[in-house]
Amino acid sequence: MAERSFAKEVEKLRLGDGETFHGEGILAITKALLQCGVGYVGGYQGAPISHLMDVLADAQDILAELGVRYEANASESAAAAMLAASVHYPIRGAVAFKSTVGTNVASDALANLASGGVTGGALVIVGEDYGEGSSIMQERSHAFAMKSQIWLLDPRPNLPSIVKAVEDGFELSEATNTPVMLEVRIRACHLSGAFETKANRRPPLTVREAVDNPRRQTDRIVLPPAAFVHEQEKIAKRWPAAQAFIKERGLNELFGPPNGKLGIILQGGMYNSVVRALQRLGLADINGDTDVPLYALNVTYPLVDDEIEAFCAGKDAVLVVEEGQPNYIEQAIGAMLHAGGVSTRVVGKTALPMAGEYTGQVMLDGVGRFLREYGPEVLAPEHRAPNRPREPQPAPELAEIVPQRPPGFCTGCPERPIFAAMKLVEQEHGKHQIAADIGCHLFSILPPFEIGGTTMGYGLGPASNAAFHGGGGKRPISIIGDGGFWHNGLSSSIGNAVYNEADGVILVVDNYYSAATGGQDVLSSRADNRSKSTNHPIADAVKGVGVKWVRQIDRTYDVAKMRDTLAEALTTPEKGPKVIVASSECMLNRQRREKPLMAKAVKDGRRVVKPRFGVDEDVCTGDHACMRLSGCPSLSVKTLDDPLRDDPVAAIDQTCVGCGNCGEVADAAVLCPSFYRADIIRNPTRSERALARLRQRVTRALAGWRARRRLDFAGDAAA
């Protein structure tokens, strides 16, 4: 069950000719696929493309009606391999995943696909996780396009342009027998907007029809000598065909006056930022009408030489706006102009920064710098020579006070007790070499846990400890999530460890979902999924590949058990990898699932127990040891109105879901007796009610008796 439901929104996918779609970028892309008569879709979740996968999952009925096959692939590699269906069959296919990590995983299949080429249009939609909020290393998809000769689209970030790019992408792919990559930046994926729709098209040849009539062409298969032919074909046939198609269809766009001394060549995705910079410099209006010639590359690979030469002809200088590094486009344009004898100056990373996101300020600074240097006369006086320097005025007191707020585990997260247990083990057995993996559990690297030293890729946690698996005085520990486990961890990490007789501890964090990407189901999910096969235990899989020492923990909140199991794994004489599968359901998903059920049960008059935690503020001494083993958002501190007490005390707010972690930690770490759990029983039975009344009467009488015999400062006697 995914974090966000698109059940209502997917109805927009049924819009017909001439209607207007209002909604988010990812939904628009899905609609565009259906309008193009796509035959099959797939992919792997991950920001910013997760929601596209969720949309597809929620749109299964609509897809089925059109005869479109939908597959939630096991990995990006599997997704890219699925595009093989377009190699011999004239069927359009599209897969989506995040870049660049997904593209890394997929690159083997992508390279093979690109070599043999395609018959039906093959579209790879990559969501760029670059810049602010990104969770991955900062690299460019552009390199993948170049190395495999896949055409790369980078449309202007508005819904009509993105939808058009999908349509153009399929046609370009078919016209050139080459897969096409559509790059959508993270903000464009979540962009709200509108476009005019067309009716959905049933694929002319469905995959069901195709499978009944198998075809093959040996010269499309990547085997020598065909592979050598493919390489020649890419250069001699597909490349010129692509350039011709791009030119003929006008995929790249020109804005502003046809002539001028200066111009800007930009990636389509940068268009809005460039226009905003021009707007702020007084050189463009609200609709983007500008005095500066712009050449927007909706296709950033391949470049069209004569279009670029024509744009540059007669200009003193052009600014190349290309986000990220290396500056492939700038280099290509420079070489192109040089070879063509065009003397236009190419300015790129000298005006704009080589690395880093091109934010609004960076763009304003860069475009301003370019214009002031090469064409100050186009600028109004206040922009040509602004009353600067208005020196940056940092707010030192704010910078010192305002705390960082990195993402962390959610309230009630079942992974928190796992890392609390690891910290306790650390206190007892010292620090260990710990390799982390991709997933929510990666938050363990941040305070308060500060556990884990590397993260080498999805499902590669245990593999990245391989060098230490020969053993030593202390065993290395590695962490892997259930998502990473099924993505490729079973073979790359577990199988690898078994085969190499690894003497390490592998902790599999199983929260029943691929939680970090938005709560999609995986093989070991415990929920019933109407179109996918779930409930395949990780422990069985681990044993199946030969692990002998396996411990399954079904309630991670049992901190003491977690701690003891970890300690056992670190000390057992057993040879080979020691695997602990720590399973508890992702609390975010659990709450989403259980809350409505609970509410209904209460309404129906059924007995429901809802636990919540609290802190006795007069027992808490304000040492915050519990915080350092928890970090739960609902466990915070508050300042008391008591001048005798210097330090704030622990407090639990209304968002507590009663997971029990704080009580368990207080117990396992022998912290303090401040925590209590209050079980709120709705619709109690009659005898429960009677017993509760009796208890209350007696306990209050006793408490009142004592209160009346002493000085009472808190109103105990009255209560």
Minimum CB distance to other proteins, residue 200 (Å): 24
- In whole angstroms, give the CA distance from residue 131 to residue 579: 36
Q: Tell me: does residue 377 bind other proteins (CB under 8 A).
A: no
- In whole angstroms, give the CA distance from residue 354 to residue 367: 14
Q: Using the rule CB under 8 A, which residue among 144, 328, 443, 512 binds other proteins?
A: 443
Closer to other proteins by Cβ: residue 262 or 541? 262
Q: Are 613 and 656 in contact (CB under 8 A)?
A: yes
Q: Using the rule CB under 8 A, which residue among 61, 212, 604, 641 binds other proteins?
A: 641
Binding to other proteins in span 515-534, by CB under 8 A: 516
Q: Tell me: does residue 18 bind other proteins (CB under 8 A).
A: no
Q: Which two tokens stand for residue 371?
A: 């214009």
Per-residue x/- track, 384-423, other proteins (CB under 8 A): --xxx-x-xxxxxxxx-xxxxxxxxxxx------------
Q: Which residues pair with 345 in a beta bridge?
A: 317
Minimum CB distance to other proteins, residue 488 (Å): 21
R_g of the chain computed on alpha carbons? 30
DSSP secondary structure code for residue 468 in this structure: G
Total residues binding other proteins (CB under 8 A): 146
- In whole angstroms, give the CA distance from residue 510 to residue 539: 10
Q: Using the rule CB under 8 A, which residue among 35, 86, 148, 273 binds other proteins?
A: 273
Q: Residue 687, CB half-sphere, CA atoms under 13 Å: how many?
A: 0
Q: Tell me: does residue 643 bind other proteins (CB under 8 A).
A: yes
Per-residue x/- track, 152-171, other proteins (CB under 8 A): -----xx-x-----------
DSSP secondary structure code for residue 344 in this structure: P
Q: Which residue has the tokens 């050598």?
A: 228
Q: Tell me: does residue 646 bind other proteins (CB under 8 A).
A: yes
Q: Tell me: does residue 716 bind other proteins (CB under 8 A).
A: yes
Q: Using the rule CB under 8 A, which residue among 287, 377, 430, 573 binds other proteins?
A: 287
Q: Which two tokens stand for residue 399?
A: 């910078």
Taking phi over 0 as left and psi of -120 to 50 as alpha, with beta for the rest, 715 belongs to: left
Closer to other proteins by Cβ: residue 91 or 424? 424
Closest CA to 188 of 157, 155, 153: 157
Q: Are 424 and 668 in contact (CB under 8 A)?
A: yes
Q: Using the rule CB under 8 A, which residue among 431, 530, 686, 710 binds other proteins?
A: 710
Burial of 279 (C-beta count, 10 Å sphere; 0-12/13-18/19+): middle
Q: Are 663 and 618 in contact (CB under 8 A)?
A: no
Minimum CB distance to other proteins, residue 660 (Å): 9
Closer to other proteins by Cβ: residue 156 or 487? 156
Q: Using the CB atoms, write b or e for 364-387: b if 16+ within 10 Å.
A: bbbbbebbbebbeebbeeebeeee
Closer to other proteins by Cβ: residue 173 or 273? 273
Burial of 228 (C-beta count, 10 Å sphere; 0-12/13-18/19+): exposed
Binding to other proteins in span 600-629, by CB under 8 A: 612, 614, 616, 618-619, 621-625, 627-628
Minimum CB distance to other proteins, residue 423 (Å): 10
Closest CA to 8 of 16, 24, 20, 598: 24
Per-residue x/- track, 651-690, other proteins (CB under 8 A): -x-x--------xx-xxxxxxxx-xxxxxxxxxx---xx-
Minimum CB distance to other proteins, residue 129 (Å): 7
Q: Using the rule CB under 8 A, which residue among 92, 312, 447, 499 binds other proteins?
A: 447
Binding to other proteins in span 355-374, by CB under 8 A: 359-361, 364-365, 368
Q: Tell me: does residue 470 bind other proteins (CB under 8 A).
A: no
Closer to other proteins by Cβ: residue 249 or 677? 677
